[in-house]
Amino acid sequence: MKPAGLLLFLVSFATSSPGAGPENQIDELIDRKLAEQTVPPNEIVDDATFLRRVSLDLVGRIPTLAEIEQYESQPAESRRHWIVDELLNHNPEGYTSHFYHFWADLLRINKRLGTNETPDDVEYAYRFWIKQALYQNLPYDEFVQQLITAEGHSWENGALGYYQRDRGMPLDNLSNTIRVFLGTRLECAQCHDHPFDVWTQMDYYKMAAFSYGMASKGHTNANREALQVHLEKTGEKAFRAASGLRADSIPVFRKAADLKSWMTKQRSAGAWPQILKSSGLSEPEFTEAAKRGIDALKTHNRSAQQLQNAENSLFVRVRYVTTRGVERTLQLPHDYQYKDAAPFDPVEASTMFGPEVSLSDTAHPTDRIRAYAEWMTSPENPTFTRVIVNRLWKQIFGAALFEPVDEITESTTISNPELLTYL
């Protein structure tokens, strides 16, 4: 996942020696643009400043004393190259942790993934998958393809958190996908033709048809439900055995307050004398028996909780999520008002720009989503690479080559088009 350009961004300022390498090409393109605008370039910073900056950029912290000493022990002409390589290739944990947060923000990873509807292990698996992709240096196009085509079970494929994040909101997922990876805001076109751009409402729905069939569903294993019933029954048995109170009219009391409240209600209803008579106990004897049952139930519940904790840690699959491509037809909204179609008309998947994607009439949802991912990450789609280069440039230098980073329009101004194309 370490984009190759990231090294170039940094190495371009790591040395002032002339040459034909990519870092010198970057310098040349920047110097040419500065000259056009009669802006003098900044002075090359000293070694200590460079070390601080590169550490903050790559691992999100200032260098340690040991790192400073090791850096200063390197030959002066190569120490800047050395520290970039050291931080990226020999300290992957620091890089992974720092850039994970970059991606967590873009992909909107939050507690929505861990709710009563979605087990926490889905959120954990998604976070872990992204960190592993960074740590293992997964190429960027593969990273995006695996997110968009993610299918399977939550314990097998953490990438399906990408769809689980927007469960029940397939149109929102489409809007976010195009914004994050193609730097285009389509939200307006969900309800009407875009007022300031070329996208139409039909364009929006044709794009949404690619991923509309991706559906996430939560599951509870029958074994978990059976265990819950079993624990409740054994708890009731523990109470009955310890208290000796077996009449069907007497509930299981879980705490002393429950017993007191129940006795008060029975007195108010005039049923208390009959309950005592049925039990064959005096009121003090009844109260004492119920308290014994409560104590036994507390002991049982502690053991049951331990069993529950073990079950949660050892058998994660008792709660899980699946994401699959399902046959589901996307229709135009009920208030569609344009002349090219009518409300509720079915929509066929089609790309909004770039090369056309060829799909058969009988294409399975999985075929559609793969074609969609391949189209997005294709070398024939330069927008895909321009967007990530621009995001990373801003992440490193604080200013993008075009702004906003997620809204390319016909009026977008690129500060250095040649540099963006080269990168």
* Residue 410 to residue 318: CA distance in whole angstroms: 51
pTM score, two decimals? 0.73
335: left (phi over 0), alpha (psi -120 to 50) or beta: alpha
Quote the pLDDT of residue 350.
87
Q: Which of 20-24, 118-122, 163-167, 377-381 has the lowest mean pLDDT?
A: 118-122
CB 297 within 8 A of CB 239: yes
Quote the pLDDT of residue 230.
52
Over range 133-137, report the average pLDDT.
Answer: 89
Over range 109-117, report the average pLDDT.
Answer: 58
Buried-state track 334-371, b at ≥16 Cβ within 10 A, e below 16? eebeeeeeeeeeebebebbeeeebebeeebebeebbbb
pLDDT tens track for 61-92 = 999 999 999 999 999 999 999 999 899 888 88
Runs of H (alpha helix) within 269-398 = 272-279, 283-314, 365-377, 382-397
pLDDT at 250 over 70: no
Interstrand relation of 152-153 and 214-220 (parallel, antiparallel or unpaired)? unpaired
Quote the pLDDT of residue 190.
81
Choose among 50, 53, 30, 48: nearest CA to 40: 30
User: For residue 120, how many C-alpha atoms fall within 13 Å in the half-sphere facing its CB?
Assistant: 2
Quote the pLDDT of residue 122.
79
Quote the pLDDT of residue 23.
67
Angstrom CA distances, 309 to 218, 315, 319, stand at 20, 10, 13
Quote the pLDDT of residue 212.
86
* Residue 206 to residue 219: CA distance in whole angstroms: 31
The letter for the amino acid at 53 is: R
Mean pLDDT, the chain, rounded, equals 79
pLDDT tens track for 15-37 = 555 555 666 888 899 999 999 99
